[in-house]
Amino acid sequence: MAEITQRGGTWTFDGETVRIAPGRGKGIHPLRQELGERAVPLRALAGISFEPDRKGGRLRLRLRDGACPVLRAADGRLKDTADPYQLTVEKDRSGVAEYFVDEVRNALLIEQVPAGPVDGFLLPGPAVPVAGGGGDGTASFDGETIRLTWNWKANDSKLSGGPVSFPLSDVAAVHWVPSIGLENGHLRFVLNGAPAAVRAAEHDPYALDLWGLSKKEYTAALVAAAVLVRLPGATGKTAGAAPAGAAPAEIEAPAAPVPAAPSEPAGDDHDALLRRLRELGELHRSGVLTDDEFAAAKQAVLKRL
């Protein structure tokens, strides 16, 4: 068991799952607080790193593309402070962070988890009911119906029309874009059969106009993720893709996948682990594994023996 606790939260790893509990207090981003605890299975991970700096550093989980509906809904637009898969580490805990990285990396190597994209979500969406937004209104979703309510800052056309409700079955796609600089953001629902022309969010009764005046507006991404994961036929790679002309996502390209071993050990069975050692040796001799990769994987297996 590896564990690290910081102001931003607590991460634990039991060999199969990285569990992330967000911290509490004013310094924790609202998106992290509202999202709550996350259990990330090993097969959803593409990698992990610790990035040191003079104040300590940052732990960063890299998930396989399409594994997490929150990351898919955000499409690479989350700030570091809002990203639930990052943890700021104080200087005196750098050693613990490096140990945590080694444990996860060894497990990924032993289990031969590929780093490439997945065909479907491996993590659940935010729990429902969920609500979020800001700017000119609030969006809520109970698992079946989306409801948009407006505040006094909304455009007259929205206020005169009143709150808008529609079932999940009417939704073709959902898009979340945060406010960037002087450009407003939005949470937009595209309904089945909607015309190709897109109105500005301030006039669209199926969109929130986000102004970026509060971190709370980032919680609209959670509503988007909760809807996205429940769309018929939704997958981590294609559902709710950004419309033409949207800003490109700033997503790090996945690392090349590690070739799969011939077989998988069952738990910590002694014979299975011995077979894994032989398989690793064969992969090393054939040049699939480098010397460093082979040494790390061998050491991790020996620990389990």
Q: Express each pLDDT in 37-87 by its tens digit.
A: 999 999 999 999 999 999 999 999 999 999 999 999 999 999 999 999 999
More confident residue, 297 or 255: 297
Angle between helices 291-304 and 270-285 (to 10 degrees): 170
What confidence score (pLDDT) does residue 275 get? 67
Residue with tokens 């970026």: 212
Beta carbons of 138 and 214 less than 8 angstroms apart? no
CA distance linking residue 216 with residue 132, whole number of Å = 7
Beta carbons of 70 and 222 less than 8 angstroms apart? yes
What confidence score (pLDDT) does residue 17 get? 97
What confidence score (pLDDT) does residue 179 get? 92
CA distance linking residue 162 with residue 149, whole number of Å = 7
pLDDT tens-digit profile of 249-294?
333 333 334 444 334 444 446 666 666 777 777 776 666 567 777 7
- For residue 35, give every residue at least 6 positions away whose Cβ sits within 8 Å of its Cβ, in sequence order, or none: 22, 70, 84, 126, 222
What confidence score (pLDDT) does residue 149 get? 97
Q: What is the mean pLDDT of residues 106-125?
A: 94
pLDDT tens-digit profile of 160-184?
999 999 999 999 999 999 998 888 9
Q: Which two tokens stand for residue 232?
A: 């018929």
Please determine, for residue 16, whether its predicted confidence score (pLDDT) is greater than 70.
Answer: yes
What confidence score (pLDDT) does residue 161 get? 94
The string of DSSP letters for 261-296 reads: PS----TT-HHHHHHHHHHHHHHHHTTSS-HHHHHH
What value does the mean pLDDT of the chain take? 85
Write the single-letter amino acid at 255.
Answer: A
- Using alpha carbons only, give the angle 231, 237, 243 rounded to the nearest 5 degrees: 75
Residue with tokens 């077979």: 275
What confidence score (pLDDT) does residue 115 get? 92
Interstrand relation of 164-167 and 56-63 (parallel, antiparallel or unpaired)? unpaired
Beta carbons of 84 and 70 less than 8 angstroms apart? yes
Q: Which two tokens stand for residue 15?
A: 């060999």
Rounded to two decimals, what is the model's pTM? 0.77
